[in-house]
Amino acid sequence: MATFDIIGAVGNGYAATWRERQWLARLALVPVAVKIFSLEVLILLGFERNFLAQAIVLLPAFFLEGWLLVRFARLIGLGERWPEHQNAPGFRPDPRPVLAGILVYVLIQFGLRGLVAAALPGLPAQMGATPDTPPDMAAFAAAVGILLGAFWAFRCLWLYIPAGMGISIRDFLAGVRGFSVSFSMIGAWIACFAPFVLAFGVVAGLFFSPQGGETPSAAADFLVTAAQAVVDTIILLVSTAAMTYGIRQMLTPSKP
């Protein structure tokens, strides 16, 4: 079984995103605009910490974001450039894989927020436990089991990529079996998002942090939200590209 090449996947992911930056900018215009609007609505309604409300308000953004990411994955994995490829002579587009990838992406986003919302009520009690509290071995064993399960399930966060490329979920999971794949995928994901998060934190701290205890203006809040949406989209694009290269290599080792 082929291995997930972290360096190759991340390098190709960054290179593909930069190479296709103009094409991606055109496709991402509406998804990013809808995401900014949705985030502003969440802030106005005070739902920043309500993860279930977030999933509902961000639903249109999830669909558009999923469409963008699936299109990018198909460009990398299948060489299908939208919309030029759709108009090629003799090409008969099959919308089912694209729709499947979008739906899987939306379900993943809903599932993540549902898991966070379900886990939050138990955190305060766990954090308030004292050192004298006798350990509950059953709870400890359950926590370890959940942690290992979540570690293995990290690969499932990228199911929209094989679904969008017309690869069955069963074939994908069979091709990426083993815990070592999770190590590689997590390493690639960190390499994709860490530089952007650090750069965004530095820039936001320099230009948007209030001075002298002043309350940040509405314009500053909007700019931070817009910049956050843009950076988040770039991270998703780079991560999707890297994972697509890695997955393609594992499932079809003969391809470069």
pLDDT given for residue 67 in this prediction: 96
Do 71 and 101 form a contact (C-beta atoms < 8 A)? no
238 pLDDT tier (thresholds 50, 70, 90): very high
Residue 256 has pLDDT above 50, yes or no: no
212 pLDDT tier (thresholds 50, 70, 90): low
Angle at 101 between CA 99 and CA 104, to 5 degrees: 110
pLDDT given for residue 14 in this prediction: 96
pLDDT digits (tens, 9 = 90+) for 130-174: 555 555 566 667 666 667 777 778 888 999 999 999 998 888 888
Residue 240 has pLDDT above 60, yes or no: yes
Residue 247 has pLDDT above 80, yes or no: yes
Residue 237 has pLDDT above 80, yes or no: yes
C-alpha–C-alpha distance, residues 142 and 154, integer Å: 18
C-alpha–C-alpha distance, residues 149 and 60, integer Å: 30
pLDDT digits (tens, 9 = 90+) for 179-208: 788 888 999 999 999 999 898 888 777 766
pLDDT digits (tens, 9 = 90+) for 36-64: 999 999 888 888 777 788 888 999 999 99
Question: Measured over all CA atoms, what is the biggest interatomic distance in the chain, rounded to whole angstroms?
Answer: 73
213 pLDDT tier (thresholds 50, 70, 90): low
Q: Give this prediction's pTM.
A: 0.84
Q: Mean pLDDT over residues 213-237, rounded?
A: 82
Domain boundaries, the chain: 6-119+144-251
C-alpha–C-alpha distance, residues 11 and 246, integer Å: 11
pLDDT given for residue 74 in this prediction: 94
Do 241 and 12 form a contact (C-beta atoms < 8 A)? yes
C-alpha–C-alpha distance, residues 150 and 152, integer Å: 5
73 pLDDT tier (thresholds 50, 70, 90): very high
pLDDT digits (tens, 9 = 90+) for 107-139: 999 888 887 777 665 544 444 445 555 555 666
